[in-house]
Amino acid sequence: MDVIKTQQISSRPIEKVIVHPLLLLSIVDNYNRVAKDTHKRVVGVLLGSTFKCTVDVSNSYAVPFEEDDKDPGIWFLDHNYHESMFSMFKRINAKEHVVGWYSTGPKLRENDLDIHGLFNDYAPNPVLVIVDVQPTELGIPTKAYYAVEEVKENATQKSQKIFVHVQSEIAAHEVEEIGVEHLLRGVKDTTISTLATEVSAKLTALKGLDGRLREIRSYLDLVIDYKLPLNHEILYHLQNVFNLLPNLNVADLIKAFAVKTNDMMLVVYLSSLIRSVIALHNLINNKMLNKEHERAEDSKPVEVKGLGKCR
């Protein structure tokens, strides 16, 4: 029995897909409006640009989509609606073009290759981004794929398309970061206390700062080892960052930090003291109340069966 060997052919391999956060908010909004609390998924078109094997997805819009749950081969995507929407988007931003499509998955389905083939008419090498709108684990809720043709050396076997996983990451411009930050600032979980929310936000910010500092250190180490060329613009920005750092060796600054810390500790100490006094006061009141109930029970007349009440 001959062993069938295969070879993957792609005209333009994709190395990375960058997804912007506003795109994720748009997809989640589409899912909540159309398919919330159901087993359906929503599908839409991805807009962006491609540069050096990197696809930058910056915008999207939903497309009417229906599929049969029992027969995956039966599905409908309104490509006329897509063409009308794209013509309007093109008037607003001519730099954005169709780079692929998205699905709320959360996994690949049998008819995804057929749907992907439809988008080959609008993009030379479209990508598929699956967004998990209800993630159960921490991490990036996106998975990106692009299709390649698998050519088999056995002449009796026909070539077929397969999906290849590609790295995806979340990135945003400075303006987008500010907008997302203000948007998420109003999203609060009523089951979590304000203090816990603030501590979690501080922890996330410190982790982000630690990651940025590690990236800076890694870059500088590569420059020192002559593995990367010297970029004066980057070093200029780093020097500005260091110049903005406060001088912690100033006596007045050290005293101000100490006074501020002592004031905060005093408030915490008084709060703990007041809480303890209130707890002891409630405990004493509870004991006095229980004692009064015991006296009231003891003072009640006892009724002996057949003899009447004993006093």
Q: How far is CA 21 from CA 8, 90, 137, 208, in A?
A: 32, 21, 18, 16
- Chain position carrying tokens 């897509």: 82
**Pairing outcome for strands 54-63 and 43-51:** antiparallel
Q: How many helices (H) and strands (E) does the chain have?
A: 7, 12
Whether 46 is in a domain gets the answer yes
How many CB atoms neighbour CB 161 within 10 A?
A: 13
Same domain (yes/no): 159, 60 = yes
Q: How far is CA 76 from CA 64, 94, 174, 177, in A?
A: 8, 28, 38, 36
- Domain extent, residue 265, equals 251-299
Same domain (yes/no): 265, 240 = no
Of 244, 263, 291, which residue constitutes the final position of a domain? 244
Same domain (yes/no): 15, 42 = yes
Mean pLDDT, residues 10-23 taken together: 80
pLDDT above 50 (res 9): no
Note the pLDDT of residue 8.
45
Whether 310 is in a domain gets the answer no
Same domain (yes/no): 46, 174 = yes
Nearest to 57 by CA among 109, 107, 4, 102: 102
**Pairing outcome for strands 127-131 and 97-103:** parallel
Same domain (yes/no): 115, 136 = yes
Cβ-count burial of 15 within 10 angstroms (0-12 exposed, 13-18 middle, 19+ buried)? exposed
pLDDT tens per residue across span 74-99? 899 998 999 999 999 988 888 899 99
Whether 184 is in a domain gets the answer no
φ, ψ (nearest 5 deg) of residue 291: -65, -40
pLDDT tens per residue across span 190-211? 555 566 677 787 888 888 889 8
Note the pLDDT of residue 183.
66
CATH classification of the domain holding 54? 3.40.140.10
Same domain (yes/no): 49, 165 = yes
Same domain (yes/no): 219, 174 = no
Q: Is 0.75 topped by the overall pTM?
A: no
Under DSSP, the state recorded for 91 is H
Same domain (yes/no): 145, 256 = no
Q: How far apart are CA 75 and CA 69, in angstroms?
A: 9
Whether 311 is in a domain gets the answer no
Cis peptide before 135 (omega within 30 of 0): no
Of 179, 209, 232, which residue constitutes the final position of a domain? 179
Same domain (yes/no): 23, 168 = yes
Same domain (yes/no): 237, 261 = no
Same domain (yes/no): 69, 53 = yes
Q: How far apart are CA 197 and CA 195, in angstroms?
A: 5
Q: How far apart are CA 125 and CA 98, in angstroms?
A: 10
Whether 197 is in a domain gets the answer yes
Note the pLDDT of residue 194.
63
The domain total for the chain is 3
Nearest to 146 by CA among 165, 132, 130: 165
Same domain (yes/no): 88, 129 = yes
Of 135, 156, 179, which residue constitutes the final position of a domain? 179
